[in-house]
Amino acid sequence: MAAILNSLLAALPRKSYLRLLPGLAPVELVFGEILYEPDQPIEHVYFPTQSLVSLLTLVEGHLALEVGLVGWEGMVGFPLALGVDTSPVRALVQGGGPALRMGAARFRAELRRSPPLQRELHRYVATMMAQISQTAGCNRFHVVEPRLARWLLMTRDRVRSGEFRMTHEFLSHMLGVRRVGVTEAASALQQRKLIEYTRGAIKILDHRGLEKAACPCYESVKDMHRAASL
Amino acid sequence: MSARRTPKQNRLLAALPGPELLRLLPHLERVLLPLGAVIYESGGAQAHAYFPASGIISLLYVMKDGAAAEIAVVGNEGMVGIAVFMGGGTTPSRAVVQSAGSAWRLEPALLKAEFARGGALQRQLLRYTQALITQMTQTAVCNRHHLLEQQLCRWLLLSLDRLPSNELVMTQQLIANMLGVRREGVTEAAGRLQADGLIDYSRGRISVLNRAGLEKRACECYAVVRNESDRLLQSQIALVA
């Protein structure tokens, strides 16, 4: 059997995973695609395998801030695992690539009969809560440059690659700052030879250096994930 | 048991069907929540779960350097101790009593066992978790995008919703700590609200004089959080009925 490319699915006992498998359809997520909108019914859940999905809040209809990132370690649509069929945020594909998808009705049915799936998802939601609260705290106390470094590292961990595409405009929504702020922070990191950033392509050159440049929130959330996967 | 001292003062417990509440009843212990008491500390041992009957508990995110900012408030609509049933590691957070009151508390092992039964309590706790996530999300965006005055209005309104009167016992320094801002900023914003006749502030007591006016000055974050909590809690009660 091929390796399971989503760590949430990989953590399930084999029997639970095999039960789930026929309901999981491989799909290709496209950059910029919206998987669900605030307060609209969530129609599918997605387990990214080599894609990245951003959870964004809207203020008066405009993208305002990213509060969570979902990659191969998680699932998009976790409110369904809490018995709620809508979310207050927008789920937007940030890095195109493959994912596994399941319809909401089937997912609910599978969840009802699989305590291991419930347990894994509950743990995962706990890590998402840590990510959201960390975002709230980080936004309050940290300036753009360490936050950008943190964001780049979190993205790297979720796409498992030090190279990805990202426009300034997108980054400004992610971090909730103006575009000029992103430009300044990105050039500072580039001057320190930590990243290379040309025409929307980001390449991490020195990840240890970037870790040092990031605010401690990066470590906090990583610790949380580590603890949750024990 | 007098009407004033029943676990039904907590709305999550009140919405449980009779048999489930009866099963928990012998294990629910009433405790006082004195102002400033820390009921959960980041990295500490697995604490009890608290279902507030009155008062407010503030959840703070604690940074590695010790700085802290409030990410959510919990009153009798909710509970503190989500980590008990969700599993995973310890959240880098602290739970502090922001407004004195009382709570019903439960041993973590008992809550876990009841949660694992998959009944009404599990359904409610999960829906409450989503309501709390909404509140945290909104706090994150509010910290980033809204003026301190709007944030102060949001914070006052969320607190008032969890209190029986229109009065809050709270110093400006404490509010500043909650919001993660400097005290001077809070003093200025509170001064403007007072000058406009919306609040009265004296010697650590804030009285809200014009609630509708305060709602107008708050950012949309307040309404988002309140509507989502109402929606999730109402359907909870509908499930039981």
DSSP-assigned letter for residue A13? -
In this structure, the strands spanning A44-48 and A97-103 are antiparallel
Instruction: Confirm if B155 and B175 have CB atoms less than 8 A apart.
Output: yes
Q: Give the model confidence (pLDDT) of A104-161 as tens digits.
A: 999 999 999 999 999 999 999 988 988 888 888 787 788 899 999 998 998 888 888 8
Mutation pick from A80, A134, A140 vs chain B, by most beta carbons of B within 10 Å, is A140
Closest CA of chain B from A209, distance in Å: 19
> What pLDDT does residue B46 have?
64
Would you say B53 and B103 are in contact if contact means Cβ atoms under 8 Å apart?
A: yes
Pick from B207, B86, B215, B199: which is nearest to B158 by CA? Answer: B215
Task: Give the Cα separation of A67 and A89 in Å (integer).
Answer: 9
For residue A45, pLDDT over 50 is answered with: yes
A179 or A108: which leads in pLDDT? A108
Please name the residue that has the structure tokens 């309590």.
B121
Q: What is the mean pLDDT of residues A171-183?
A: 87
Q: How far are the Cα atoms of A21, A80, B214 from residue B130, in angstroms, in the given order?
A: 27, 10, 26
Higher local confidence (pLDDT), B87 or A40: A40
pLDDT band at B133 (very low <50, low <70, confident <90, very high): very high
For the segment B94-106, what is each residue's pLDDT rounded down to a tens digit? 899 988 999 999 9
Q: State what percent of residues in chain A have pLDDT above 70.
A: 96
User: In this structure, are strands A201-204 and A163-165 parallel, antiparallel, or unpaired?
Assistant: antiparallel
**B1 pLDDT above the threshold of 50:** no
Interface A–B counts its CB contacts (< 8 A) at: 143
Percentage of residues of chain A with pLDDT beyond 90: 58
| B145/A136 Cβ within 8 A | no
Q: Do A228 and B127 touch (CB under 8 A)?
A: no
DSSP 3-state assignment of B89? coil
What is chain B's length?
241
Q: pTM (2 decimals)? A: 0.88
- If we measure between CA atoms, which residue out of A2, A58, A54, A57 comes closest to residue A26? A2
Distance from CA of B133 to the nearest CA of A (A): 6
Lookup: tokens for A169: 């405009």
| Shortest CA distance from B64: residue in chain A | A216
Q: Which residues of chain A have a CB within 8 Å of the CB of B65?
A: 216
A76 to A72, A93, A129, B126: CA distances (angstroms) = 10, 10, 14, 17
